[in-house]
Chains A and B, each alone.
Chain A
Amino acid sequence: MSAQSVEGFLARLYIDRALRDRFFDDPVAVATQAGLDRGEAEAVANLDRVGLELAADSYERKRSAHQRPRPAWVRLLHRLTST
């Protein structure tokens, strides 16, 4: 359960900018409020802010790309492979 809490907290950090801002103001307090024990909170407290922001930005772009309408190329493949 504990490892799952850490993964859940990291997932929230990746998608929630406001949480990231609060976290970097007081990492251990925000992590313990999220349910991590003291050891887990200290383990995530020193994470690399630049890396986290770059990763979060990258994931946001991916989520946006996934929301695009289904491309017509699937029908193209169907036509090409049916002939």
Chain B
Amino acid sequence: MSDRVGLGWRGELSASILDRLDAIDVLEVIAEDWLHTPRAEQRALRSLAAERPVILHGVALGLASSLPAEGRRLDRMARLVNLVRPLAWSEHLAFVRAGGVEIGHLAAPPRTWATIDGAVANLRRAAAVVGGLPAMENIATLIDPPASSMGEGEWTCAIVRASDSPMLLDLHNLYANALNFDVDPQGLLCAMPLEKVSMVHLSGGRWLYPRDAGPRLLDDHLHDVPDPVFGLLEALAAKAPQPLTVIIERDGDYPEFAVIVRQLERAREALTAGRSRSSPAARQAA
């Protein structure tokens, strides 16, 4: 199997995506966009999966939590996976609700053994209900999670290795967290469980300039992938011999589609460059 490069399916890009499928190896679809749609629309997604491999990407299960994941949400995900038969499915190392409160997005839980144990239990349950483990994505956070007893790399390794989940390594999330919390991005990359990485996200963001504090990088998916993130992809490709599926995420402020296609090409170039300076085993895998 070879490296793949693809794009997050967004409705606003749908016509362009279908017009340029030749440039796209794989599509990633937000699962929650489809969980409540009529069966006919879900079958349209299955038709899309027949054109290109599809990955279902969940954003609302909240698996990295000391709280149990909700059974009804897992059941809905299982039904969609069963219908679409995706190449893989993925979720986040995040919590999204607690104490009866819906946060509305992906939040970093305290990095403790309690959340490690909770995440591993949730992943086992998810695998049993859905029929396979999701690839777990590191998230961007603007706040260093309070009440933590370990760093991001150690916490991530513990969950991914104990659960045997594949990892979806979001390189812009990693880059943003490194810059926001004064860590070397290459060092943080090396602290991740690289042997478990099967998928990669690339995206862009913008700087925030709060009063009375240094700037912070927001991962907003509204900007082009910056050069250092392509550099991290090249470094990853050099270190990780297994095939990688790379997805570019863009959620708005869309440029001409040719610009996005060019970023897909840059991702392929970074993979090729990384493979060329890696071990013979890595080159063979790619």
Task: Give the A-binding residues of B (Cβ under 8 A).
Answer: 11-12, 14-15, 18, 33, 37, 40-41, 44-45, 47-48, 51, 65-67, 95, 97-105, 107, 109-110, 112, 114-115, 118, 141-144, 146-147, 180, 208, 210, 212-213, 216, 218
Contacts and interface: CB of A to CB of B under 8 A. Distances in A.
9 contacts: A2-B114, A7-B65, A9-B99, A43-B110, A50-B212, A51-B216, A71-B12, A74-B37, A77-B48
Interface string A28-68: 00000000000010011011101111110011101100100
Contacts of B33: 74
Central interface residue in B12, B40, B44, by most chain A CB within 10 Å = B44
B107 A10 contact: yes
A76 B11 contact: yes
B98 A81 contact: no
A59 B212 contact: no
Central interface residue in B14, B112, B143, by most chain A CB within 10 Å = B143
B95 A7 contact: yes
Query: What is the predominant secondary structure among interface residues of chain B facing chain A?
Result: mixed
Nearest to A36: B147
B51 A81 contact: yes
Interface of A: 2-12, 14-15, 40, 43-44, 46-48, 50-55, 58-60, 62-63, 66, 71-78, 80-82
Contacts of B48: 77, 81
Contacts of B109: 7, 10
A55 B146 contact: no
A63 B104 contact: yes
A51 B40 contact: no
A4 B99 contact: yes
A71 B11 contact: yes
A3 B37 contact: no
Contacts of B208: 54
A51 B144 contact: yes
Contacts of A60: 104
Contacts of A80: 14-15, 18
Nearest to A54: B142
A12 B104 contact: no
Nearest to A45: B146
Contacts of B97: 11
Contact of A76 (B14, B66, B143, B218): B14
